[in-house]
Amino acid sequence: MFGKVFGKSSTFRPYYENDVDVFIPELWAAEGLTLLVENMIAGSLVYRDFEDTLQNYGDVVNVRKPGEFTAKRKTNADNVVIQDVSATSIQVPLNQHIHTSFLIRDGEESKSFRSLVDEFLKPAIVAQARFIDMVVLGQYPHFFGNSAGFMGNLTANNAKTSLLSLRQVLNQAKAPVTDRNLILNPISETTLLGLDLFLQANTVGDQGQALAEASLGRKLGFNMYMDQNMPVITANVNTPANGAINLAAGYNPGTKTFTVDGFTGAVTTGGYIQIAGDWTPLRITAHTETLGATTSITTATGIKTAVADNAVIYYFAPGAVNNASGYAAGYAKEITVDGFTVAPQVGQVVTFGTGATSTVYTVMAVNGLVGITLDRPLVAALADNDVVNLGPAGAFNLAIHRNAIALVVRPLAKPRAGTGALSAVVNWNNLSMRVVITYDGEKQGHLVTVDMLAGIAVLDNRLGAVFLG
């Protein structure tokens, strides 16, 4: 278990301890799905779209985001105004084929099914649950427009105020007050556990359970969870090319365009800045230059806190794609990069190119200074030397209503009959898992592959916010 889940319901145990044949795929699939639900945190807190219809990798399905009605006034003489039930259809590619495979060698199959589950299946499913959580939590940059907290400066002294600000942000966005979840990284969780609000038995009203179990539970309208996969970026990539605010009066909250000075070169549209005193991650959507030096910057979202004249602006120098052939849209593996002096980190925000609205990704895996893997396949093709922009360091937390993000799951087809493969597909709780068991004559053992097909989509960015820690 790699996180704390408070209030999850227990699940069924569909295996049989005394089964003679341990290679019954239905048992492996059912047990695997049970383990997945038990170990998956973020994936359990979002909307799950499921239909029991076989799909293939790359297929596109449509998820409907409900529309809104408008109340109207009438008199006795008026007819009612009939409104159409409208819903926005969001296309979601099923491009997350998540799998784990392991080999049970001859001789090991004499163990009980329970023993094989503990030794092989459980670690495999924990890895799969971690992968799903990373994909779901990797959507946090899409909610930067709604943010609260103090980047790099969340303390026990300001934590309660920050949480109340987060609540206000969602209230003003008219997010439903029910089904609000706050997913915390380990550092922010530790900070909150230092508050009497969360631990004093006479305040919490749980007879000391929170103190004994370091549980946050439900506070201030949020169901709170700690997930070790919630990103904490500990170091900025490359040496920042610093500039400064150039306006005697400074700028008020909500400002998006800033007059600046002090830059020795041009910033890159699509990259990120932070301004001292505000620290919100700000994506550059436009900039102007004079003799090659940046003189103004416009950002996608406004600052949350007023900033003063000469406040330092931290701009993070980009790297570049390093592949002469480029990468086609839909590419899902490691992207080779260069130009970085500090390795990117898992969970870091990344965009490509110099466009103001290019697709936002997060880093799922890192290969030192030379490679990154993204939270989902490429939406658009990349060319050699395309700019790679990385977001700033910080401890990020995600507050979401259940309908903010959709995890779309569809069943995979079984292998064709006569191929010698044992297989089963189990659907339960809006999830689907396939198990395929084959015999490998060269390695002398049974190869077990556990996999699922999914897609991820942000349904409504008004229903989520980033809590900066």
DSSP string, 343-359: ---TT-EEEESS-TTPP
pTM, 2 dp: 0.87
Residue 219: both structure tokens together: 């506070």
Q: Is the Cβ–Cβ distance between 109 and 117 less than 8 Å? A: no
Quick one: pLDDT at residue 10? 41
Quick one: pLDDT at residue 213? 43
Q: Which residues contact 467 (CB under 8 A, 6 or more apart)?
A: 147, 148, 149, 162, 163, 166, 182, 184, 188, 396, 397, 398, 399
Same domain membership, residue 310 and residue 263: yes
Nearest to 222, CA basis, from 152, 164, 174, 173? 164
Same domain membership, residue 422 and residue 366: no
Quick one: pLDDT at residue 49? 92
Which position has the token pair 């059912």?
Answer: 30
Same domain membership, residue 355 and residue 206: no
Measured between alpha carbons, how far apart are the two ends of the chain, in Å?
24
Same domain membership, residue 407 and residue 391: no
Same domain membership, residue 336 and residue 456: no
How does strand 147-149 pair with strand 445-458?
Answer: unpaired
Q: Is the Cβ–Cβ distance between 35 and 457 less than 8 Å? A: no
d(CA 59, CA 461): 24
Task: Express each pLDDT in 163-210 by its tens digit.
Answer: 999 999 999 999 999 999 999 999 999 898 887 777 654 454 554 444
Residue 440's SS3 state is: strand
Quick one: pLDDT at residue 216? 73
* Identity of the amino acid at 409: V
What CATH number has the domain bearing residue 294? 2.40.30
Quick one: pLDDT at residue 199? 61
Same domain membership, residue 178 and residue 53: yes
Residue 208's SS3 state is: coil
Nearest to 141, CA basis, from 465, 469, 401? 465
Domain boundary among 315, 348, 368: 315
Q: Is the Cβ–Cβ distance between 436 and 449 less than 8 Å? A: yes
User: Residue 13's beta-bridge partner residues?
Assistant: none
pLDDT in tens, the chain (469 residues): 344 443 344 444 444 444 446 788 999 999 999 999 889 999 999 999 999 999 999 999 998 776 666 777 878 888 888 776 666 788 999 999 999 999 999 888 788 888 888 899 999 999 999 999 999 999 999 999 899 988 878 888 888 999 999 999 999 999 999 999 999 999 999 898 887 777 654 454 554 444 444 457 788 899 999 999 999 998 766 556 789 999 999 999 999 999 999 998 889 999 999 999 888 899 999 999 998 899 999 999 999 889 999 999 998 889 999 999 999 999 999 999 999 988 999 999 999 999 888 899 999 999 999 999 999 999 999 999 999 999 988 899 999 999 999 999 999 999 998 888 999 999 998 999 999 999 998 899 999 999 999 999 999 999 999 999 8
Same domain membership, residue 192 and residue 134: yes
d(CA 138, CA 347): 7
Same domain membership, residue 291 and residue 417: no
Same domain membership, residue 195 and residue 56: yes
Q: Is residue 164 part of a domain?
A: yes
DSSP string, 258-296: EEEE--SS---TT-EEEETTT---EEEEEEEEETTEEEE
Residue 381: both structure tokens together: 């093709």
Same domain membership, residue 370 and residue 323: yes
Domain boundary among 281, 315, 349: 315
Quick one: pLDDT at residue 90? 87
Quick one: pLDDT at residue 65? 73
Total of domains in the chain: 3
Q: Is residue 139 part of a domain?
A: yes
d(CA 87, CA 81): 18
Return the ∠ at Cα 140 (arms to 452 and 368), rounded to 5°. 75
Return the ∠ at Cα 251 (arms to 248 and 252), rounded to 5°. 140
Quick one: pLDDT at residue 459? 93
d(CA 180, CA 186): 19
Same domain membership, residue 348 and residue 222: no
Helices (H) and strands (E) in the chain, counts: 8, 28
Domain enclosing residue 94, as ranges: 43-67+86-230+403-462
Q: Is residue 37 part of a domain?
A: no
Same domain membership, residue 124 and residue 223: yes
